[in-house]
Each structure stands twice: as structure tokens, then as C-alpha cells.
Amino acid sequence: MRNLLTILFLTVIAVNSAAQVSEIEQLMINHIDQTNDEALELLIESININSGTMNFDGVKATAEHLIPHFEALGFKTWFEDGAEWNRAGHLVAEHLGSEDAPKIMLIGHLDTVFEPDSPFQKFEMVNDTTAKGPGIADMKGGNVIMLQALRALKEAGALDDMNIKIVITGDEELSGRPLDLSKKALIDAAKWADISLGFENGDGSPKTANVSRRGSIGWELNVTGTPAHSSQIFREDIGVGAVFEASRILLAFYEELRDEEFLTFNPGRIIGGTTVNQDKGANSGSAFGKTNVVAETAIVAGDLRALSPEQEERVKDKMREIVSRNLPGTSAVIEFDEGYPPMAPTDGNYKLLEIYSQVSQDLGFGKVVAVNPLRAGAADVSFTATHVDMAIDALGMSGTDGHTVNELGYINQLPRQSKRAALLLYRLSK
């Protein structure tokens, strides 16, 4: 992989000295302005296709809605079936140009959190600058911004020499398992690429972008106690029971780990008693236990979010150590699931943000700064970050209230974000 840090640092210096858009860039700007109504119509059509993650037909229909538009730009495009990981699949596209040009991957996703039984199904204008719609910001708006940027590059004659691979996944909101299959298209493209650009919406503000994202993994705590009549609790051969031990562990997590910067850990479900039944698929469970019986079993399920792989591993080791300090008459085990890896902040990511911010300033839109990783969740870009020289995310549609029936998108930002993306891609290609 080429050393793009030095190359792109020189690019920043050159662009800073120019501090204006070039003739070719102005052509791209004009094209985006002239076709914004068409882009908005495409966005409305996409939003009105239900593509909740588990609505496989809807996810595929959303891909089929976009595929002709990528093919019209000269991309080789296909839908990769997701049967092996129990999801609809992914839209993948590639455009191969000059061998000397940087290799850039673009990331989006087709799915939303709104399944067919959701009351939130259609696009609706709120006012002149704002609209509601399932996935408008997260992230069907980002998919259209990606397409608009590529259209502008094509119109200006700047796309032909560029090397671009696009992966628009069908399971970002609820990843298929195993992850080594469901995220293979992303990882394969990242191993090919030098630069990774995510078109998610970050914290929803056009003034920020992500140079880092926290990972997200699940954990499950299983605790066993010695069942007995409650009148005998605390006896040396009986001990404290499973619920007390689970409580001890959770309190220790809180007291010993809560001050870790950028770390969060959340016990989202707890079940305890004499007998316990858990339905992981439905995120539910039941328990039977009398108040006069010492609890035999407790199960706690939660998540863990860290900023770097090193922080994640260190915290996991600490949690295991806390779990091992068992109170009398109990035993406990904690297990961690696979999940989204962290996207750690790197010098390369910051250099890429610097170029993007300069693009924004040259367009008259102001600086773009790094978002606090506590304000943005996990995303597909994280699977690519360790394989590329540089990566950023949040190039997509600005908005708010994602994952709720009040999800809003700021449609006045559609052309602005498209221009930013187009000029960023053009400058990276040079």
C-alpha cells in the first residue's frame, strides 16, 4: 500500500494555498445544483421502499432501485446474496481506472430499523428545509449523496481514471452472523483500498465528521448460586446466592470502570431466580423464584463500547478479573460476543479530515471538525479502518432523531454534502 500520508499532506498544503475551487470543480458544483431536484426525487423513492433489515425483499428492492444509476456511470454492479449469513445481501460496485490513482472505497447501507409493521413508512415534508422519513438520515440520504458526487465527477470528465469500490450493505442495522461472512465484502474492499469513506450521518451535524468510532460488542454474565431456604442465606456452606453475586459484579463494573475515557458498558437485561429461561433471539426471558428461596441462577446481558482494540481488550480482561472475585457459595463466567470493531483515531484519519474540511471551506460551508466519538454509534466503516491508510465517516445526510419514528433529514444539506463529497473525491484522485 502506498504511503498516502505524505502525498495527502502535500495535497493539503497545495489546496490551502489555492483556497478556491478549480474550473473542473465548478463544473461539478453546477451539475449538483442543476440535478438536485432529480436527486431529491430519487431519495423520496428510496425512502418509500420499506427496507427494514429483516425485510429481505425490501432490502433487495432498494438495491435494485440504485443499481441502474451506478451502472449508468460505468460501474460494474451486482447484488451479493446474503443467505449464508441470514440477511438479504449487499450491493457491490466497482470502477477501475488508472493504475496510478489511489484506491478509494465508499460505504453505505440499504437497510433501516423500520420493519414492515412499523407505523413509519413514508417520506413527508415538514418545512422547506426538513423532511421526515424512515432512513432519510440513516442512511438513504447518504446513498444518494454518494451517487450525486459520482455523477458530478462523471459530468466533469473526472471519473474515468478513478479507482472506486462501493459496498452498500444490507445488514448494518442488524448484522448477520457469522460476521466473517456478513462483513466479508467490506473487508475485501478495504484490503484493496487505500482510503475508506463512509456516508453515514455521524452525529447529524454537517459541521462534524468521524475520524473515530467506538466498537460495539455484546457480553453475557452467567452466575450460579447454591439453592437453599432463604433463612439459611449467608451460612458458610450456602453463601449469598446468584442475585447478590450478580449485583456485586455489576456494582464493581460501575465503580472500577466508569471513569475510563470513551468507554461505556450497559447491562441491558437481567434475569434471576430459581429457574431461568432466556430467548436471545427475542431479547427476552422469564424467571421463577420464590422470595423464601436463595437464587440459584442469574443472567445479565449487555454491551461494551470502546475506542480502540487495545482499550477493548484491556477492559475485557478487567471485567473477567472482577467476575472472578466470587462471593461465598457462587461462581460466575462472562463471555463476549463478536461485534463491531473500534475505529481508532489515527494521523491518517486526521489528515483526511483536514482535506475534507478545506473542501468545505473552499465551498463556503465552513470548517468540519472531528465529532466526539461518544456522540456517534458503531458503523460499517469500522470493519475497514485497520486495512486502509486513512478513513473518515459521516459524509452523508444531516439529520436528527435517527432510529425513531421522528427521524428527520435536512434536505437543504443534500446538495451541500454532495458537493463536499464530489470535491473530496476529486482532490483525493489527484
Residues 6+ apart with CB under 8 A from 4: 102, 194, 195, 348, 389, 390
pLDDT at 16 over 90: no
* CA distance linking residue 13 with residue 111, whole number of Å: 39
Give the up-direction half-sphere exposure of residue 218: CA atoms within 13 A in the CB hemisphere. 11
Question: By percentage, how much of the chain surpasses pLDDT 90?
Answer: 91
The answer on pLDDT for 205 being more than 80 is yes
State the fold for domain 217-336: Alpha-Beta Plaits (3.30.70)
Q: Looking at mean pLDDT, say which of 197-206, 280-289, 346-355 comes out highest.
A: 346-355
Is residue 371 within 8 Å of residue 25, measured between CB atoms? no
Q: Could you read off the pLDDT of 131-174 as tens digits, one per residue?
A: 999 999 999 999 999 999 999 999 999 999 999 999 999 999 99
Strands of 57-102, DSSP E:
76-81, 89-95
pTM: 0.87
Distance of CA 150 to the CA centre of its chain: 22
- Sheet with strand 163-169: strands edge to edge: 76-81, 89-95, 163-169, 103-109, 195-198, 390-392
pLDDT given for residue 310 in this prediction: 93
pLDDT of the residue at 15: 44
Across 282-309, average pLDDT: 95
> Mean pLDDT of all residues in the chain?
94
How does residue 378 score in pLDDT terms, banded at 50, 70 and 90? confident
- CB-count exposure of residue 185 (10 Å: 0-12, 13-18, 19+): buried
In this structure, what are the phi and psi dihedrals at residue 407, rounded to the nearest 5 degrees?
Answer: -55, 130
Indicate the fold that domain 4-214+342-429 takes in CATH.
Answer: Aminopeptidase (3.40.630)
Query: In the chain, what are the domain boundaries?
Result: 4-214+342-429, 217-336
* Residue at grid coordinates 453546477: 30
